[in-house]
Chains A and B, each alone.
Chain A
């Protein structure tokens, strides 16, 4: 444990016992993040449970059964208790288990969880990064709501949990547990746990390595899955108002440990193991994701000659490759562009030529027409001249004739004029 370092004893009070307090003080200043994913069929009691857990009313609209595919709805809240500021994100599935064909039900959930890991990984790989002020959206715990059929797990449940168990801490929950009687409940729980074990589904185990909490955690591990009841209504019991569901045959109290495991869930989730859930997400699930992703991208820790390869070398080689590819593409595009411009230019030139020829042709026609018209004009002018001459001659003849019979012809001339 000491890695070969000698242990020295102190001869007086030094004061570094305050280190955890210094660390805590800093964490309080930064605030905490906690992200819960609720998976369950529509109407399994997800929203009500969350409202009950956090003793508040997160306004979430009720959803329909008729969505074509599973979606995820995320909402972030800021809660404060004494000096602790918690950024709580609740992600719920919408439309889970509603479709006739449920083959694609798990994929959106897996994609969502991976997307959060990916976002963190991208930040971590950045050159200029700010991890200490990063808003962590990775899912810390997944509450899986099992329908209170009383028999066993559904195929969808097994399939979904199996696809998620290496990515997120799963805590299975039986929702709306007030529809199962006590005797049926224990049988149901046993069946569920044995099915999980036989299908090798790795659910979250409350940690038992710290002596102060190992006892209670072991006990709680035995109570899984938690059978919970949630309620947004309060009923008066004695002289207190408690969260409860009122039936004609009695009142189911949410916080009564004889009625359901709600208190156990709250205790385990928030009061005892919240930090461990966060740590497991970061140290185990995220590291696994990161490793797989980097290997997928082609990075290795050991090179072909079994010599350690630095991530930087591989990263740089890839970056160089990518850059060359980019350059090549750019060159190609440039060439294409030049080609296209040339083609277009040729087309335009040709069109220009055509227009030019048409113009010249028209000009020629115009000239010819003009000449024609001039000719015609000349002919007409000649005719007019001839006519005027004729008229002049006729008038002369007429005036000579009219001298002999002046009165009558004058009159006639006048009329004629």
Chain B
């Protein structure tokens, strides 16, 4: 690692506890602010931290490097306790930040957060069938066309919430185990979901029913029984879909539902996304992988965490100069990549 071994300083009870908490921190979710200048990150202790991920004055490479020298700028500008359990997922609209954890989704006003007033706007719980354990919410998805939010997770259903009224309008059932991830197709009002049961299901929102099911683990090319069947990550671009997890990371043609490219990556992948003509993926291991659509590994860029859970691309048109990629996972650090070539610096809880 690049950090030197610090001198052993005398630690009291509180310091030891805090150091242990930091050591065992996992950052599950990240989300950029609508202005593109701030990054929210949620960890397993239910805290959300807001970082200024690049200096507003200049976001050039040199500024990013100089910010590496300043320890202060790597710390969050504000941290608040959002949930009791982990913060598994976050999405952002023009004004709101939605965060989801164990069984509930909360809304926060960005303007309030940046003023460091951390009071939730509202808190909603999807209608669960009673259970001993409150199901978690693993994925949130905004559907801008119908101004609604889709929640999916532990109870194997997709819940649609109308953002206008705050009511849950429908529930899509079909998965047999819990849902890991969601993806929205841009043209058709269709949603993809991937889950622990090893299937990717395509849902038509207008008809509110399942239109297609792909059982990834049943395809010999990509199945890896020792890793399990689960689909951990999902991304889509017109007729193409890429998914990974227990089975190998695979590019699918949706209309024919056939795997076209299998990416040779042994470790299970936890996040995948399309970026220009590349596919970015991350999972176990410290690297962000960049793939050509043909299946060639273009680059592996190492980060500072032993394992990655989420990637986030800042593509807000409001702040074109702050275009960065951030990656977070099994550590208290969020790695910031100003270009895809290397890690510029890390933000830290």
- Is B one of A's binding partners? no
**Interface positions of A (Cβ within 8 A of B):** none
